[in-house]
Structure 1
Amino acid sequence: MNHYPVLARIRLNPHHRAVHRDLRDATQMHRTVMRMAPDNLGHSPRLQAGLLYRLEETDTASTLLVQAAQLDPALLPAGYGHAEIKDLAPMFSALRKGLAVRYRIVLNPAKRERLPQDQKNKRGKIIPLSGGDADQWWLRRAADAGLNVHLLTPTNVAPIRPQGPQAPPMRHSLIRYDGTATVTDPDALTQAVLNGIGRGKPYGAGLLSLAPAAAA
């Protein structure tokens, strides 16, 4: 029997001190969302929980989407926000080859710098991509994930720079993609939704959301 994750949609309380802190600091946001996952998950708790999240902001509200195998919003700070839990099993069960879908994802498109031959034993820097290079990166990753993208609309998102003494010294450039696509490989797509796509998953990137496309 398959055990699919759930999705928590949390409308954040704009007057809560912890919300203000988390919106300023991606490291703190990661710690807050991980409070909803079970304890004692070992060395890589986010990975073991299958936890992915995305922040969606408008002029009037901030909403946090969190996907994981198990989530308990009651473990969030009191008054942090209003949470609704959705079972994703019907969405996964509906995936089939040829299905038209709408998608949304925030990504950290990047590539590793290619070093000259005399430095082949070293690893190049991670270089963020933008513009057409980022679009092509997403099209390639989407194809690998079992999606044939028909339409993509990029929106730049505020970059993430993790904070704190244990945070990696790397700035994550984020781009949100919205559009339509056709499912080409349901199994690959299922794994992409479960595992996320690209880098920056602890900081709000990689969560792929799908919905049936409206009939023409």
Structure 2
Amino acid sequence: MFLTRFRLNTARMGARRLISSPQSMHAAVMASFAQKPDHRGAGPRVLWRLDEQSRSEVLLYVVSPDRPDLTHLVEQAGWPTTGGWQTKPYGPLLARLAADDTWAFRLTANPVHSIRRHDAEPTKRTAHVTPRHQLDWLLKRQVEAGFEIVEKAERRPDGLDGVWHEVVVHHRGDLAFRKRNESEARAHKVTLTRVTFDGRLRVLDPDAFRRTLTSGLGKAKAYGCGLMTLAPAE
């Protein structure tokens, strides 16, 4: 496994087009591999995420089973003569994960749930729209994903007594774009909600957590969701 970071040059039209179109960015990321990645099954896959630190600083992160070649991205959306990308082996970090380790994390995800108004109606996938429900979506998945978000049993930021979690929900964005599958003659509209979580977690099950880091969490992985990255916890 490899972890790659690439900074986009937001002054270039190619970079702005990629930032505004998850489908175009997905295609550009997949084009980084000489052999098309196989996403069938539940094993490691290509995951990507955009971190918009500011209007002029946008970083692309990619986790992948194979080492990528981002030459085409540098040429159309980077600094061809002075810029590049950084790729590091991901295996050493994955191998040293242990139960009770504490890490700072960032996750961009597509928090959705299935609803229906009556029994005869088919279920419909719907996005959670409030920070409370978006956080609940993550909390319901944390144990199965091999981690738990750190808790503090003290007065919460909203002034109420009880347990609160060391996580912030931010950068909620609703995306709408048109997608055409190879078997379709006409493109159809895709809408999704992306939310970023920043916080601290504790590892519960190292093997399950490694699967989360390499296979992603939640839906819409092709469109910049599901990738969790770690940093040393302060």
TM-score, normalised with respect to structure 1? 0.86
Query: Structure 1 stretch 20-29 or stretch 163-172: which is displaced more?
Result: 163-172
Q: CA offset at residue 67 of structure 1?
A: 1.0
1:25 aligns with 2:21: yes
Q: CA offset at residue 162 of structure 1?
A: 2.9
Contact 2:14-2:76 at 8 Å conserved across structures: no
Which structure: greater helix fraction?
Answer: 1
Aligned to 1:73: 70
The number of aligned residues is 206
Query: What are structure 2's unaligned runs of at least 5 residues?
Result: 79-83, 151-165, 182-186
Query: What are structure 1's unaligned runs of at least 5 residues?
Result: none
**Which of 28, 32, 36 does residue 32 from structure 2 map onto?**
36
Query: Structure 1 stretch 164-173 or stretch 128-137: which is displaced more?
Result: 164-173
When residues 168 and 180 of structure 1 are mapped into structure 2, their CA distance, relative to the original with a 3 A threshold, is farther
- Measured in 1, the distance between the counterparts of 2:36 and 2:233 equals 39
Contact 2:98-2:203 at 8 Å conserved across structures: yes
When residues 67 and 168 of structure 1 are mapped into structure 2, their CA distance, relative to the original with a 3 A threshold, is farther
1:178 aligns with 2:195: no
Secondary structure at the residue paired with 1:78?
A: helix
- Measured in 2, the distance between the counterparts of 1:85 and 1:165 equals 31
1:163 aligns with 2:162: no
When residues 34 and 102 of structure 1 are mapped into structure 2, their CA distance, relative to the original with a 3 A threshold, is same
Aligned to 2:51: 56
Matches within 5 A, 1:81-96: 81=78, 82-96=84-98
Q: CA offset at residue 114 of structure 1?
A: 2.9
Secondary structure at the residue paired with 1:23?
A: helix
TM-score, normalised with respect to structure 2? 0.80
- Measured in 1, the distance between the counterparts of 2:61 and 2:103 equals 19
Secondary structure at the residue paired with 1:38?
A: coil
Query: Structure 1 stretch 173-182 or stretch 205-214: which is displaced more?
Result: 205-214
- Measured in 2, the distance between the counterparts of 1:206 and 1:137 equals 13
Matches within 5 A, 1:169-208: 169-208=189-228
User: Which entry has the higher C-alpha Rg, 1 or 2?
Assistant: 2
Secondary structure at the residue paired with 1:206?
A: coil
- For the aligned residue pairs, the C-alpha RMSD in angstroms reads 2.2
Q: Give identity over the alignment, percent.
A: 25
Contact 2:179-2:190 at 8 Å conserved across structures: no
